[in-house]
Amino acid sequence: MLNIAELSTFILVVFGLFLIPGPAVLLMITRSAQSGTKTGIITGLGIATGDFIHVLLAAVSITAWSINFF
């Protein structure tokens, strides 16, 4: 079991990691700064579409695997 000091350290580290932007956020910021808001929004929509397709394919694959396996 964690004591208060370890738990508070863990919470601070996790919170700090949430503040670090990922590559998608850095791409949107860069594109928005270079080409404007519209380009940044289009970039964000492209990233969201790619994420959706990735999750959809993963879900379909897991479902197909579980149907065939069990």
Domain residues for 48?
Answer: 23-69
pLDDT at res. 70: 67
Please provide the average confidence, as pLDDT, over all residues in the chain.
91
Q: Does 49 fall in a domain?
A: yes
Q: Write out the two tokens for 47.
A: 């990233």
Residue at 66: amino acid letter: S
Q: Does 63 fall in a domain?
A: yes
Q: Write out the two tokens for 42.
A: 């289009």
Going by pLDDT thresholds of 50, 70 and 90, the confidence category of residue 1 is confident
In the chain, % of residues over pLDDT 90: 67
The three-state DSSP-derived secondary structure of 3-67 is CHHHHHHHHHHHHHHHHCCCHHHHHHHHHHHHHCHHHHHHHHHHHHHHHHHHHHHHHHHHHHHHH
Q: Does 32 fall in a domain?
A: yes
